[in-house]
Amino acid sequence: MRLLLALLVLAVARPWARAADEHWCYEIQKKTEPNCLGPKEWKWDCQKKRQSPINIIASNAEVKKDLGLFSFSSYEKKKKWNVTNNGHTVLIDLNKEAKIEGGGLNTEYQATQLHFHWSRNLTGGSEHSINGEHTAMEMHIVHQKKQLTSKSQRASENTSEDIAVLAFLVKVGSQNDNFQPLVDILPTISKPNTSTAMNEPVSLFDLIPEKEKLKDYFRYLGSLTTPECSETVVWTVFQEPIYLGKDQVLPFSEKLFYDKSRKKNMTDNVRPPMQSLEGRSVYKSYSSAAPERLLPLALTTLLVPALAYLTAGSL
Ligand SMILES: [Zn+2]
DSSP letter string over 78-99? -B--EEEE-SSSEEEE-TT-SE
Active site residue 88: yes
pLDDT of residue 11: 45
Beta strands (DSSP E) in 94-216 are 99-102, 109-118, 129-130, 137-145, 163-173, 194-197
In angstroms, what is the span from residue 152 Cα to ligand 1's centroid?
31
Which of 232, 227, 182, 171 has its CA nearest to residue 204?
182
Q: Cα separation of 112 and 66, whole Å? A: 25
Share of the chain above pLDDT 90, in %: 77
Class level of CATH domain 18-287: alpha beta
In angstroms, what is the span from residue 232 Cα to ligand 1's centroid?
14
pLDDT of residue 309: 52
Catalytic residue among 88, 115, 117, 140: 88
In angstroms, what is the span from residue 117 Cα to ligand 1's centroid?
6
The helix/strand/coil state of 250 is helix
The confidence band for 236, taking pLDDT boundaries of 50, 70 and 90, is: very high
In angstroms, what is the span from residue 290 Cα to ligand 1's centroid?
30
Of 143-152, 156-165, 223-232, 287-296, least confident by mean pLDDT is 287-296
pLDDT of residue 288: 58
Which of 47, 56, 46 has its CA nearest to residue 219?
56
For the ranges 150-154, 220-224, 302-306, the maximum mean pLDDT occurs at: 220-224
Q: Which run of H or E residues covers position 28?
A: none
Domain assignments of the chain as residue spans, ordered by start: 18-287
Q: Cα separation of 132 and 110, whole Å? A: 31
94 C-beta neighbours (distance < 10 Å), count: 20
pLDDT of residue 161: 95
Q: Output the CA angle 160-161-163, nearest 5 degrees.
A: 120
Q: What is the mean pLDDT of residues 48-63?
A: 96
Q: Which residues contact 288 (CB under 8 A, 6 or more apart)?
A: 61, 63, 215, 216, 217, 218, 239
The yes-or-no verdict on residue 266 having pLDDT over 50 is yes
Q: Over the stretch 150-200, which tens digit does the pLDDT of each residue have?
A: 665 666 667 899 999 999 999 999 999 999 999 999 999 999 999 999 999
pLDDT of residue 258: 98
CA-to-CA separations, 103 to 70, 100, 112, 205, 212, in angstroms, rounded: 4, 9, 18, 16, 13
Report strand pairing: 99-102 vs 70-73. Answer: antiparallel
Q: Which residues contact 166 (CB under 8 A, 6 or more apart)?
A: 100, 140, 141, 143, 208, 236, 238
Q: Output the CA angle 88-91-92, nearest 5 degrees.
A: 170
Q: Over the stretch 270-286, which tens digit does the pLDDT of each residue have?
A: 999 766 899 999 999 98
